[in-house]
Amino acid sequence: MARSALLNVMVQAALKAGKSLSRDFGEVQNLQVSVKGPSDFVSQADLKAEKIVRDELLKARPTYGFLGEESEELKGTDGAHRWIVDPLDGTTNFLHGIPQFAVSVALERNGEVVAGVVFNPATDELFTAEKGGGAFMNDRRIRVAARRVLSDCVIGCGMPHLGRGNHGKFLVELRHVMGEVAGMRRFGAAALDLAYVAAGRLDGFWETELSPWDMAAGLILIREAGGFVSDMKGATDIFGSGNVVAGNELIQKALIDVVNRPIPTR
């Protein structure tokens, strides 16, 4: 596949950060047996990965803005372009030695995400997409799954936990979806979950209370793989709402209907 100069910059930044995370991941697995645990080490790994990505991207395009999870937003002089980066999506997985985490890098132009990269260094899987150019995993073209009814589908989701999210609301959503689908999955890294929808591994996905860096690269991956994404209301304000529903055209619409069903009254 042919990549633009900008996408090549993004890929190289993600690969370089991924190499750093791979080294640190080996240390995390060793630290699991210690009493203190690996929390402080992981936070440093996260910060180091973001610095690598930030330095690589801004070296190539110093006038672009930068929005990352671990640092204050940088307003670029360009005005039209902004990098949106999660240097370690799936931090809790990483912390526990679970090889389901990723570097996520997206490019936004005039408010629209036009390129995205999601890289899992543990599996060496690189997902890439550019507007109008299709979506790829390790240079192989990917497409969303073609299943037409929820009863045939495996659906991914996020899940609230201690101190975060509306647990009661989620349990209602989960109850509704569980009764309609062939299987549910919760992998713990939204960028990869969205990439999995793009690759047809998951038929659909929904999650609430996300940040732009959790979703940006995954959104264009799905769109360029022939899929559909919106917020929970079916609207386009995904970053503003902090929630996302994704799938092919039929499954995405069906999933929106199911997760928005009212709570049953007795």
Domains of the chain: 5-141 (3.30.540.10), 150-259 (3.40.190.80)
On the question of pLDDT at 30 being above 80, the answer is no
10-22: average pLDDT: 97
Q: Consult the annotation and say whether 152 binds a ligand.
A: no
Burial of 16 (0-12, 13-18, 19+ CB in 10 A): middle
| Cβ atoms of 87 and 44 closer than 8 Å | no
Amino acid at 28: V
The two structure tokens encoding residue 261? 């069903």
| Cβ atoms of 4 and 130 closer than 8 Å | yes
Q: Consult the annotation and say whether 86 binds a ligand.
A: yes
Burial of 75 (0-12, 13-18, 19+ CB in 10 A): exposed
* Per-residue pLDDT at 115: 98
18-47: average pLDDT: 76
* Per-residue pLDDT at 96: 86
Which of 256, 266, 194 is CA-nearest to residue 223?
Answer: 194
The two structure tokens encoding residue 172? 């209602």
191-215: average pLDDT: 98
* Per-residue pLDDT at 95: 86
The overall average pLDDT reported for the chain is: 94
Q: How confident is the model at residue 40 (pLDDT cuts 50, 70, 90)?
A: low
Residue in the structure block whose two tokens are 């996302």: 244
DSSP type of residue 248: S
On the question of pLDDT at 37 being above 60, the answer is no
Task: Compute the residue count for the chain.
Answer: 266
* Per-residue pLDDT at 253: 98
* Per-residue pLDDT at 158: 97
Half-sphere exposure of 256 (CA within 13 A, CB side): 18
pLDDT in tens, 137-173: 999 999 999 999 999 999 999 999 988 899 999 999 9
On the question of pLDDT at 249 being above 60, the answer is yes
Question: What is the separation of C-alpha 202 from the centre of its chain, rounded to a whole number of angstroms?
Answer: 13
Q: How confident is the model at residue 263 (pLDDT cuts 50, 70, 90)?
A: confident
Q: Consult the annotation and say whether 40 binds a ligand.
A: no
On the question of pLDDT at 34 being above 60, the answer is no
* Per-residue pLDDT at 33: 47
- Percent of all residues in the chain with a pLDDT value above 70, rounded to a whole number: 94
CA distances from 199 to 134, 202, 216 (A): 12, 8, 16
* Per-residue pLDDT at 2: 76
109-117: average pLDDT: 98
* Per-residue pLDDT at 164: 87
* Per-residue pLDDT at 5: 95
Measured CA to CA, the distance from residue 17 to residue 59 in angstroms comes to 15
Q: How confident is the model at residue 197 (pLDDT cuts 50, 70, 90)?
A: very high
Q: 116 forms bridges with which residues in the sheet?
A: 106, 129
Pairwise pLDDT comparison (43 vs 229), residue with the higher score: 229
Measured CA to CA, the distance from residue 177 to residue 155 in angstroms comes to 8
